[in-house]
Structure 1
Amino acid sequence: MRWVVVDVPLDSSGAGRGEERAPAALRGAGLVDALGADDGGRVDEALLRDPARDPASGLIGAAGLRRAGEAVTARIAALMAEGRRPLVLGGDCAILPGICRALPRTTELWFVDGHPDFFDGATSLTGEAADMDLSVVTGHGPAAAIGQDGPLLDPGSVHLLGHRPPTDDSSRAETARIDPAIHQVPAPELLAMGAGTVGAGLAAGGDGPAWLHLDLDAVDPRDLPAVTYPEPDGLRWPDLVALVTPLARADRLLGISVTDLNVDEDPDGRHTRRVVEVLAEVLGTAGG
C-alpha cells in the first residue's frame, strides 16, 4: 500500500511558528518523491491565526482549533474509507485529536514523543493544544479541543515512548496526570531495553489496528535541534530508526503522523533534509 502524504500545517501557538511551514519544507526537500507517495494535498483549515487563550478551556484559539480538528478528521476518514494509508505531516501535535477521531476506538496508539503531552487547560503554561494532545485523546484534556467529552481511544491501548523523566515542578505535575492505564517506556528505559527490541515487540504484540505518532522532539537535540521544545538525553537517529522501522512496516498500521519540525530553527535546511532521509529509510518499503 502506497503512502498518501497530507499536510496539516497547524501551529497551536497561533503565532505562525516554523512548525506551520514544516510540511511544505519536507515536500520541498523531496519527501513525496523519496517515498514514491501519492499527494493528499493540504488541510487549509488547519491554519490557526488566533493567539488568544480561551479563559474557559485554557486553550489558545479554541474555536479555530475545533474547526481544524474537524477538517483533519474528515480528510483522514475519507482517505481510510478509500483503503489508503495516510502519512500526515504537521504542524505540531495538536493535529492528533483530529486524526484519532477518524480512527476506530480500538486503535492502538504508538506515541513517540520527548514529552508526555498530558497537561490540560489549567496546568499548561502555554495554552498550546500541543501540550495536551495525549490527554485530550484519552479523555483527560479540555473537551473544547474536540467539541466532545470522553476518550477518543482507550488509554490502555496507548504506548507512550521516548519521553524524558521530569526535571522540574511543571513536568512532574504533568507526569502525575498520566492515566495509569497508559503503557510508558521513557527514553532511558527504552534505550536500556534496546529501541529495536521495543519496536519489534510492539509491532508483533497485537492484531488490531494501530497508528504511529512521531513527534520529532523525541530525537536528542544533538542530532535534531530544530524543534520548539528540545529535551536532552533523547533518542539518537539510529535509535529512532530502530524503534520506528518495525512499527512503520507493521501490516496493521493505519497511518503515521509526524510533527514538530521547526524550520525557523533550520535556516540552511540541513535538518529538514535529514528528516527526509530518515523517513525515506524507515517508510520507503513500508506496506509496499
Structure 2
Amino acid sequence: MSGWFLLGAPWDCSGTGRGEAAAPSALRVAGLAELVDVDLGDAATHISTEDRDPVTGVRALGDTVAAARALASSLAAGLRDHPGLRPLVVGGDCTLLLGAFAHLRAAVGEVGLWYVDGHPDFADGSSSDTGETADLDLAVLTGDGPPDLVGLGGTVPMVAARHVALIGHRTADLDPESAAELARVPGDVFAVDAPAVLRDPAGAGRAAAAWGEGLGLSMWLHIDLDVLDQAVLPAVTYPQAGGPDFDQLAAALAPLAVSDRLLGVSVADFRPDLDGDGGHAARLVNLLDSVLKG
C-alpha cells in the first residue's frame, strides 16, 4: 500500500458511543498503520449529543458541522504536507464524507464519487427514524438537506448527483421505509445494485470505472462496510443479507482502486465492539491491502 497516508475519523453520528468511533484504533491494532507510508492520527470528529434539531430533524446538527470542519482541516493539512500521497480516511460512520467533501469541493472543485454502500443513504432528517446523518449523507452531498450541511463545501452541491455512482445497494425485499428512501435517489445517479455486483463483481467494478473515466474528473472511493453480506461481516451498525462476500467485494473494488483518477478512499461503519476476537478487523485490513496495493 505504498503511496497512502492514513487519517482516522472516529465519528459516531448517533452520539451514543455505540462502537464506530473505535474503528480507526481497532484497524491500527490489526495492522493497517503498518501498511501505509504515514499515519496522521485522528481528526477531532467527536459527537457529544443525541439531540435532534427541532427544525430539520437532524441529530447533533451543531456537532456534525464542527466535526466536518475539523476533518476537512485535517485532510487539507495531510494533503498539503504529503503531496505525493493519497488519503485513506477511516471512520467512524459514513458521515465522514461531509468532512472529506467540504475540503474537496472547496480545494479541488468538482470531484466524482464511487459510493459503495448497502444503503442509498438518501433519507432526510424528518423521515429518518433516528435523524442520524449516516442515514442522509449522500442526500446532503448532492444538495438535499439542511443549509448548514449542504453548504459545508462553500458551493452547493458538494458533488453533483450525475457525478455519483451508487454501488452495492439493496433493491430487493425492501421494507416500505427503505423503498421510499431508494425512490428519493435522483435518476441521474449511476446505479449498480447488489444483485448486479453478485452476478458479476469484476464486471460491475469495470462498468463503474468506465463511467468514472467518462466523467473526466478526479474520483473519490467510499466504502461503507455494510455493503458486505451480514454472514461475512455482522460487525456493522445496520447489517443486511444480499450483499457480496470479501472476495466478491475485492473484485468489484479492484478496477476502481487502480484508476488513475482515484484521489482518495474512505472506509466506514466497522463496529469493533461487535468483533470480540479481532478477526473481522484482520479481514478488513487484508481486504484494504489487497485492493489498495494495486
TM bucket (normalised to shorter chain) is over 0.9
Aligned to 1:2: 3
Distance in 2 separating the partners of 1:155 and 1:77: 24
Q: Secondary structure at the match of 2:284?
A: helix
Distance in 1 separating the partners of 2:76 and 2:62: 21
1:202 CA drift (Å):
2.8
Aligned to 2:63: 64
Distance in 2 separating the partners of 1:120 and 1:78: 31
TM-score normalised by L of structure 2: 0.92
**Contact residue 5 and residue 36 of structure 2 kept, 8 A:** no
2:147 to 104, 122, 143: 143
Change (3 A) 1:105 1:173: farther
1:146 CA drift (Å):
4.8
Structure 2 residues not aligned, in runs of 5+: none
Structure 1 residues not aligned, in runs of 5+: none
**Contact residue 119 and residue 141 of structure 1 kept, 8 A:** no
Distance in 2 separating the partners of 1:231 and 1:160: 17
* Mapping 1:58-207, distance limit 5 Å: 58-81=57-80, 82-83=82-83, 84-103=85-104, 104-147=108-151, 150-165=156-171, 167-192=174-199, 194-205=200-211, 206=213, 207=216
Aligned to 1:55: 54
* Mapping 1:245-284, distance limit 5 Å: 245-283=254-292
TM-score normalised by L of structure 1: 0.93
Task: Look up the equivalent residue of 1:150 and give its one-letter code.
Answer: V
Aligned to 1:16: 17
**Contact residue 57 and residue 144 of structure 1 kept, 8 A:** no
1:254 CA drift (Å):
0.7
Q: What is the aligned-residue RMSD (CA, Å)?
A: 1.5
Task: Look up the equivalent residue of 2:32 and give its one-letter code.
Answer: L
**Contact residue 116 and residue 163 of structure 1 kept, 8 A:** yes
- Cα deviations by residue, 1:144-168 (Å, 9 ceiling, x for unpaired): 3355583101110100000001511
Of 102-111 and 272-281, deviating more is 102-111
Aligned to 1:26: 27
1:36 CA drift (Å):
3.5
**Contact residue 150 and residue 156 of structure 2 kept, 8 A:** no
Task: Look up the equivalent residue of 1:99 and give its one-letter code.
Answer: A
Paired positions, count: 282
* Identity rate, percent: 43
